[in-house]
Structure formats: structure tokens, C-alpha cells
Amino acid sequence: MSTVSQPSEQVELNSLDSMIKPLTLTSQGVSLLDQTMLPTEERYVTITTPEAMAHAIQTMMVRGAPAIGIAGAYGLVLSARQFLETGGTEVSLLANQLKAHSNLLNQTRPTAVNLSWAIGEMLATLVAIMATDSSITNCVELLTQKANQIHQEDIQACKTIGGYGAKLVPKGGVILTHCNAGALATGGYGTALGVVRSAYARDNTVQVFADETRPRLQGARLTTWELTQDHIPVTLVTDGMSATLMKRGMVDFVVVGADRIAANGDTANKIGTYTLALAAKAHQIPFYVAAPLSTIDRSLVSGDTIPIEERNTDEIAMINGEKISAEGIQYFNPGFDVTPADYITGIITEKGIARPGYEGSVMALFEKAL
Ligand code: MRU
């Protein structure tokens, strides 16, 4: 059986807006909040070329599935601007350049489908423009509009997700989250932290635990910083503590983001998510995934074929530049894991909440989006 539940009341959008602006397109380029420097330094860098954007995504100056999708779209705007500024006039050559930069951007991080989705949207926009217009100036203008639209729609989708998710959180409930699926990881509101933000706006007695998220510490460095910026109290725990918190009755609700969701609901997210889902099931605690439809990859029947990024082993071999393990050993450092759909209580999207029987309920959400 498949069900899509849509809370009967109107979704409230009186959610706590975030002050955080992870990325902004300006006339100079793309202003990025460099996430590798947080929480010690709030430094903005201006990215002016698609190559620099690819580097920023790869090195995680910008990270999080929806945010890297938006960054990829803006990277193609930078490519089109470059073409115009260097005197390009032939639209077919612009198309060739955009395709080359799309390949470069797409190769940076393989797991989050939002990157290839947003790039696909930009290339489809170019094809549509080319059918009626051959002016490079217009191409740049319409590609800019499309990238801004992808960005704004993500913020709106996250607010709607937040509204749906907030209604699932019990009064005074304790929420546990993993990694950073917040304003920093999206257009500026957040998926899992969008739920936290909206829940807190409705009931400021809810509490939040953030897992530190080894090895890149997105929970410790980014989630605690982000929630503190927005005056939402948060308690930091190490990844290994989560099951104990659950056993002690200290967690009511788990919500995480997603990098890619297969048609059957299997969900790739930051490494450690699956462990949380197992522990949540063992303790009968609801485990929700919050993600926009752009994170769902219906071309994959299950999570078995989701590409999992393997990251530099120094991330686990070193702490603060110092080696922490014996010489001569091997390392294994996948950045993501796949939580089987059986462990997921629901997938909260901007079109409603998909429930088990995900093949049908996910399909129904896409039909609503048409
Ligand atoms: O490696 P990262 O920091 O890009 O991983 C991010 C995550 O796993 C997030 O949970 C996911 O992208 C959802 S962001 C709304």
C-alpha cells in the first residue's frame, strides 16, 4: 500500500527565517560563505569562473545537496558571462562551452543528485532559448533568471518542508539530527534544519541534539554555528552517543537530509545516517528524511546503484593536521551511506509526506508537482 499524507491544515509559513546566506549571485560573481572556515571565521569569497566554482564544490567551501545544485547552476551563469565578456557571438559555441563546464561541475561530487539535476535544468533552458533566440545577451539573461529561480524555489520548498515536518514533532519534543542539512546546505533555509526551524517557531520548548558527524564534523562545525546564529538552542553529541540517548528516552524524533533518494525510498545521506536509522528503529523512534523532490532520483529503482563518494583518507587519518593512527594501515572513507527504505518513517517533501510503499507514494508526489 502506498500513501502520501498531506497535513490537513494549511502549511504555516510563519517559520523562523534564517539570517544565513550561503551563496548569492552578484554582478561581480558568486559570493560564497566559505564553509571550510566555520565556525571560527565568517569569510565570504567571490567566485568568478566556472573552474573556481568546481574547485569550491570539490573542496566543500559550499556543500550540502541543494546548495551544490544551486552552485552548479550559478557556475554555468559564470560560464555564459565569460563567453559574453570575451566577445563570443555564436550561440552554438556558447552551448559547447556550457556542456564542457557542465561536465567539469558534474564530476566534482557524485552522490548528491541535485548537482546534475540543476545542471540539467540549465542546459534544458539553453536548448529552449536557442529554439527562439540567438542573442548571447539574452541567453545570459535567461540563464541568470533560471539559476535564480532554482535558488528561490529551493528556499520556498524548504519552508514548505519545514511546515509539514514541524507538525510531526511532539510538543516539547527532542529532535536529533545528523550532519548539516540547514540553510548552509541549501538555498538558505534548510531541509532537516528547516523542520527544526519551523518546529521551534511553533514551540520554543523543542530541543535539538546535533551529532558531530565524523570525519568532516558538519554537525559540530556547521549545525551548531547555524542554529546559534538563529538563536535556536542546540546540544552537541558525538556520533557514538546517539543510541545511548535513545535508550535513555532522550530523543523523540530524528530528522536528516538526503543527497539522493531512489524510487523505492532508499536514501543516501552523510555517513552515519544508516546507523542512526537502525538505532531509531530499535527504540521505536520516528526517523524522517526531509528533502525536496529535486533530491529524488526516479531513474534508480533502489539505493544499490547510488554512487557513493569516497573521500581523501586524510580526513580520517588526521586531526588538526596531526596523524592519529599507526603507520602502515589501510583506510576506508566513504562520505555517504544508504539507509534502506524499511527504516524510514516518512520522506517529507514540499509536495507532502511520502510514507512506506515509497514506489507509489513518491510517484504520487511527482504527479502532484505537475
Ligand atoms: O558532504 P556534505 O557536507 O555535502 O554532505 C551533506 C549531507 O549529507 C546533507 O545531509 C545532505 O546533503 C542534505 S543537505 C540539505
Question: Cis omega (within 30 of 0) on the bond before 39?
Answer: yes
Cα 132 to middle of ligand 1, angstroms: 38
296 and 257, same structural domain? yes
95 and 63, same structural domain? yes
- For 243-262, what is each residue's pLDDT tens digit? 999 999 999 999 999 999 99
Q: Which three cell numbers stand for residue 95?
A: 552551448
Percent of the chain with pLDDT over 70: 96
125 and 246, same structural domain? no
What confidence score (pLDDT) does residue 10 get?
A: 45
Domain termination residue (choose one: 95, 129, 158):
158
234 and 182, same structural domain? yes
Domain termination residue (choose one: 139, 158, 177):
158
242 and 141, same structural domain? no
How many domains does the chain divide into? 2
Indicate whether 297 pLDDT > 70: yes
Counting from 1 in the atom list of ligand 1, the atom nearest the Cα of 335 is 1
Question: b or e along 153-190 (b: 16 or more beta carbons within 10 Å of the residue's beta carbon)?
Answer: bbbebbbbbbbbbbbbbeeebbbbbbbbbbbbbbbbbb
Cα 291 to middle of ligand 1, angstroms: 11
Residue whose CB lies within 8 A of the most ligand 1 atoms, among 34, 180, 276, 289, for a mutation test: 180
Q: How far apart are the C-alpha atoms of 345 and 369, rounded to whole Å?
A: 22
20 and 125, same structural domain? yes
Question: What are the pocket residues of ligand 1 if the criterion is a CB atom closer than 6 Å to any ligand atom?
Answer: 63-66, 112, 179, 181, 185-186, 191, 218, 257-259, 269-270, 335
Q: How large is the average pLDDT for residues 264-284?
A: 98
Cα 256 to middle of ligand 1, angstroms: 9
Domain termination residue (choose one: 158, 187, 215):
158
What confidence score (pLDDT) does residue 370 get?
A: 87
What confidence score (pLDDT) does residue 23 get?
A: 97
When the pLDDT of each residue in the chain is averaged and rounded to a whole number, the result is: 95
pLDDT band of residue 97 (cuts 50, 70, 90) is very high
Residue-range definition of the domain harbouring residue 104 = 4-158
Cα 88 to middle of ligand 1, angstroms: 37
Residue nearest to atom 2 of ligand 1 (CA): 64
Q: Return the H-helix or E-strand segment holding 308.
A: none
Phi and psi torsions of 244, nearest 5° = -65, -40
Question: 88, exposed or middle or buried, with CB in 10 Å at 0-12, 13-18, 19+?
Answer: middle
Q: Quick one: how far is CA 112 from the chain centroid?
A: 8
Higher local confidence (pLDDT), 238 or 369: 238
